[in-house]
Amino acid sequence: MRRLGTGIGWRPEIADAVERMPGIDWVEVVAENVCPGHLPESLLRLRERGVTVIPHGVSLGLGGADRPDEQRLAALAERAQALGAPLVTEHIAFVRAGGALTASPHLEAGHLLPVPRTRDALDVLCENVRVAQDALPVPLALENIAALFSWPGEELTEGRFLSELVERTGVRLLIDVANLHTNHVNRGEDPAEALAELPLEAIAYVHVAGGFERDGVWHDSHAHPVPRPVLDILTDLATRVAPPGVLLERDEDFPEPGELERELSAIREALAVGRSRPARTAGAKTAVAKTAGAKTAGAKTAGAKTAAATAGTGSGSHGGSTAGAGGTSGTGDGGSTAGPAGTGDGGSTAGPAGAGDGGCAGDGGVGVLARPVAGMRERLGVAQAAVLSSLVAGTPVPEGFDRVRMGVQARALAAKRAGVVAKVAPELPVILGAD
């Protein structure tokens, strides 16, 4: 795995400060926020100095029920090539639902939502990842996300879900230790147990970020200082593996450059403390480098090909360049109840996924899906449409979900959309308020 070192998320608001910061080995840029033909001068200067730039996508929705959109994949590939990136990264999340697959209105979340950790969802995700790997010119790494709510009827822990994903696709991992902390507070999950289950040698790099707690819920804001518990998880990770790279994320409420530099120093110190402690071994080991699905830069592998004939109907291109700008119009189609079983084939009940013994055939890392994916896509699509409809269109909360947490998530999505509007059309809230 390529060594990256210490990095920071490049944002236009802190571009000048990032250029002047000492010890910055690489930066990450939100892929949808740059245009390949008109890269910011700051990024060009960083590249000329030998600073690695990695595009970080937010709009593919690889955890969704539909196959990845070809135009979005092409756009991500174009950005990777324009930046000379050694890899690209995305999220294990869904960001839209509805459409042709479920014969319901298309809905955009405007942010990342958790996928159910079930066999159905994992099978769909694996196929989507293979489609993405086949379309991208460089390796792909996927990030664990922060969740405000849980799906009922989940079958796998986060660590096991990620481990099986790597085993079956050869995809690399972007581990966000702040998101592990978020899921500890919000879902009661033990970060140490998650780390113990991960295939650590698959880690491409690590995210570190801050957040805040309100009414017992942790919000991964990327607008607050990195708290001690997040640094402690980073130290724990460093006792198990030397991560190729670690990056500080900050998206809003940017402090003075000196404060960002102090946070970077705290990250380096947390890593050093971990390295100084006795090594801990992970519970799951996977020979990622030898799997057929692991892509080398500029090379295509036959194992990344996906049987398109088994896929469900895609939703096509939806336009727009940022996930945050997604619309919220439309309502669910009446079937908004979602139970944990979720094995229906066209009824109004939608569960996270049916149980199954699926997995992959073959004995060499990446194999062929043993179960047909089309039916799984439909089940997953109905469930995700019901969830998203309740979050953005006001339909009833699906059965089995925590109504309080779903309310927190709905308000968080509304705040995200309002934030996007405030940035791109600051006069609009004033105009609407005047009416």
pLDDT tens digit sequence for 211-243: 999 999 999 999 999 999 999 999 999 999 999
DSSP label of 191: H
Q: Which amino acid makes up residue 177? A: V
Q: HSE of 45 in the Cβ direction (CA atoms, 13 Å)?
A: 10
Structure tokens at 153: 């009827």
What stretches of 84-214 show up as alpha helix (H) in DSSP? 119-135, 158-169, 177-187, 191-197
Q: How confident is the model at residue 416 (pLDDT cuts 50, 70, 90)?
A: confident
**Strands 245-248 vs 360-361: parallel, antiparallel or unpaired:** unpaired
pLDDT tens digit sequence for 258-269: 999 999 999 999
CA dihedral 18, 23, 26, 31 (to 10 degrees): -20
Q: How confident is the model at residue 429 (pLDDT cuts 50, 70, 90)?
A: low
Q: How confident is the model at residue 172 (pLDDT cuts 50, 70, 90)?
A: very high
Q: Report the first-to-last Cα separation within the chain, whole angstroms.
A: 56
What are the structural domains of the chain? 5-290 (3.20.20.150), 333-357+365-434 (no CATH)
Question: Lowest mean pLDDT: which of 154-158, 186-190, 352-356?
Answer: 352-356
DSSP label of 199: B
- Please say whether the beta carbons of 218 and 212 come within 8 A: yes
pLDDT tens digit sequence for 112-149: 999 999 999 999 999 999 999 999 999 999 999 999 99
pLDDT for position 370: 53
pLDDT tens digit sequence for 66-100: 999 999 999 999 999 999 999 999 999 999 999 99
What one-character-per-residue DSSP string does 236-248 give? HHHHH---SEEEE
> 266-287 b/e with 16+ CB inside 10 Å = b?
bbeebbebbeeeeebebebebe
Q: Which residues does 363 contact at the CB level (< 8 Å), separation at least 6? A: none
The residue written with tokens 């403390």 in the block is 273
pLDDT tens digit sequence for 332-371: 333 333 333 333 333 333 444 333 334 443 333 444 455 6
pLDDT tens digit sequence for 290-331: 343 344 333 333 333 333 333 333 333 333 333 333 333 333
Residue among 115, 113, 62, 61 nearest 306 (CA)? 62
pLDDT tens digit sequence for 288-301: 433 433 443 333 33
What stretches of 241-280 show up as alpha helix (H) in DSSP? 257-276
Is the predicted pLDDT of residue 420 greater than 80, yes or no? Answer: no
Q: Which residues does 103 contact at the CB level (< 8 Å), separation at least 6? A: 333
Secondary structure class of 19 (helix, strand, coil): helix
Question: Lowest mean pLDDT: which of 152-161, 384-393, 425-434?
Answer: 425-434
pLDDT for position 279: 87
pLDDT for position 38: 95
Phi first, then psi: what are they for 143, rounded to 5°? -100, 140
